[in-house]
Structure 1
Amino acid sequence: MVDFSKHEQVVVIYPHPDDESFGTSGTIINFREAEVPVTYLCGTLGEMGRNMGSPFFANRETLPKIRKQELIDACQVLDMELVMLGYRDKTLEFESKDEVAEHLKKHIEKLGATLVITFYPPYAVHPDHDAMGEATFEAIRKMDQDKRPELWATAITNDRKDVLGEADIVIDTEPVFERKLEAIKSHRSQAEGMLNKMQESSNFKGEYENALQRLQYETFYRVNVDEVGS
């Protein structure tokens, strides 16, 4: 059982708009209901994404503005603060890890984070996911040990349980699931395509129910950065 009220400030660090809603929004809602402030450090605007809505309502030129507004809307649903870090989508793996880590460290320390949530590299599927996770781990590694926040990491590769074992934290978001779905649907350009594909399937009901079940449970690993590779 997670005691959401024990933390003073939660900082969520992911690279894209919608990362926070699909994977962590139920957890965020639980922290906010416990009156714990949450801030999202979002790496990019997801401007190189391939999803343009279904049917299309975005194009390569308009997508950054649309995804920025979707992100703002989702953060309003989740009642959390938003900081846009200004990196370019699909290029985080080419940034200096040390420089990104210093950037993140400044934000983490300024906010007084007692918990940081990010991706677990290299078990996060997308190069941007892994790069942001690596930089976050390094940011915490750079901090004085007595000032380091607790670190939870999201792993999403199919082999994660074989390598890392069972997740340390499993949060059932069923009590707040309607708000989680509202946050996901705020990312209209990304979520509508997924829902439409399921609707077109001959097994729509089964696929939809399976998708909802996957979204209902949010899992995290507790990480000691001194025990993982740098």
Structure 2
Amino acid sequence: MEKHVVVIYPHPDDESFGAAGTIAKFREEGVPVTYLCGTLGEMGRNMGSPTFANRETLPEIRKRELIKACEVLDIKLEMLGYRDKTIEFENRMQIAKHIKDYLEQIKPSLVITHYPDYAVHPDHNALGAAAIEAVRLMDSENRPTVWAQAISKDFPEVLGEPDIVNDITANFDKKFEAILAHESQAMGVLGQQRKRNPEIDSIKEAAKLNLGMERFYIWRYEE
């Protein structure tokens, strides 16, 4: 059993769409989980469906949604305070040292983050790279295992089969509840899931088909 799991993603809702089923399974097992969230997603384009947010109100709305989703998942939240869509321009080593400080305090046995260059969004790639660097900077005997999540369309062909494939069907209700907590974002993304499977009437069932497996690669460090 894991001692403590730290999830590191850049945006509110990355945890819910990306790893909420895996997180819920760890919490069922009694494993503490902490989410280090990079930004408030304040530059996101989704403003609710129908629209209820605007550029000025979105940061506070997304912060409230993030807190609610973490309550649903029963995980501790730490906000890193970076600005949405700018992480790639930050000093990566400074971010890595910032994350390392958290990891040395929490002492997790497992870190979950994005796989650099195969996570679609520049913030995903940049924060994933910084998180992996943060673990590399730790003393080798104290390093947690890193699970890196790739989400680009070509990742299986380039990277091969993932090391960890979690069927989270049993925890999908919790994942879906966490997704819906991100009210300003949920329907925009879930609508895309529905379009991929128009023959399925239920948005939830379409989402389960597309989001019911969570896949990760174990990051291997060279000594």
Shorter-chain TM range is over 0.9
Matched, 1:135 2:130: yes
Is the Cα contact below 8 Å between 1:173 and 1:218 reproduced in 2?
Answer: yes
Among 139, 148, 167, which residue is 1:144 paired with?
139
Question: Any idea what the Cα deviations from partners look like across 1:172-202, whole Å, max 9, x if unmatched?
Answer: 1111111110000000100122345667899
Other-structure match for 2:208:
212
Which amino acid is 1:90 matched to?
K
Other-structure match for 2:98:
103
Partner-residue secondary structure (3-state), 2:46: coil
Is the Cα contact below 8 Å between 1:116 and 1:150 reproduced in 2?
Answer: yes
Among 24, 27, 35, which residue is 2:30 paired with?
35
Partner-residue secondary structure (3-state), 2:222: helix
TM-score by length of 2: 0.95
Q: How many residues align?
A: 222
Cα distance in structure 1, aligned partners of 2:129 and 2:70: 24
Is the Cα contact below 8 Å between 2:190 and 2:207 reproduced in 1?
Answer: no
Instruction: Report the CA distance shift for 1:198/1:127 in structure 2 as closer, same or farther (over 3 A).
Output: closer
Other-structure match for 1:190:
185
- Name whichever of 87-96 and 188-197 sits farther off: 188-197
Question: Any idea what the Cα deviations from partners look like across 1:23-70, whole Å, max 9, x if unmatched?
Answer: 100000010111010000000000000000011000000000000000
Matched, 1:226 2:222: yes
Task: Please give the root-mean-square deviation of Cα atoms over the aligned residues, in Å.
Answer: 1.8
Among 61, 85, 94, which residue is 1:90 paired with?
85
Matched, 1:63 2:52: no
Question: Any idea what the Cα deviations from partners look like across 1:61-105, whole Å, max 9, x if unmatched?
Answer: 000000000000000000000000000000000000000000000
Instruction: Report the CA distance shift for 1:92/1:198 in structure 2 as closer, same or farther (over 3 A).
Output: closer
Partner-residue secondary structure (3-state), 2:113: strand
Alpha-carbon shift at residue 214 of structure 1 (Å) = 1.6
Partner-residue secondary structure (3-state), 2:200: helix
Is the Cα contact below 8 Å between 2:16 and 2:178 reproduced in 1?
Answer: yes
Cα distance in structure 1, aligned partners of 2:20 and 2:34: 12
Instruction: Report the CA distance shift for 1:138/1:197 in structure 2 as closer, same or farther (over 3 A).
Output: closer
- Name whichever of 68-77 and 218-227 sits farther off: 218-227
Among 152, 158, 166, which residue is 1:163 paired with?
158
Runs of 5+ consecutive residues of structure 2 not aligned to the other structure? none
Instruction: Report the CA distance shift for 1:197/1:158 in structure 2 as closer, same or farther (over 3 A).
Output: closer
TM-score by length of 1: 0.92
Among 169, 173, 196, which residue is 2:168 paired with?
173
Is the Cα contact below 8 Å between 1:54 and 1:196 reproduced in 2?
Answer: no
Among 4, 11, 14, which residue is 2:9 paired with?
14
Other-structure match for 2:120:
125
Other-structure match for 2:42:
47
- Name whichever of 43-52 and 188-197 sits farther off: 188-197
Cα distance in structure 2, aligned partners of 1:103 and 1:66: 26
* Identical residues among aligned pairs (%): 58
- Name whichever of 216-225 and 193-202 sits farther off: 193-202
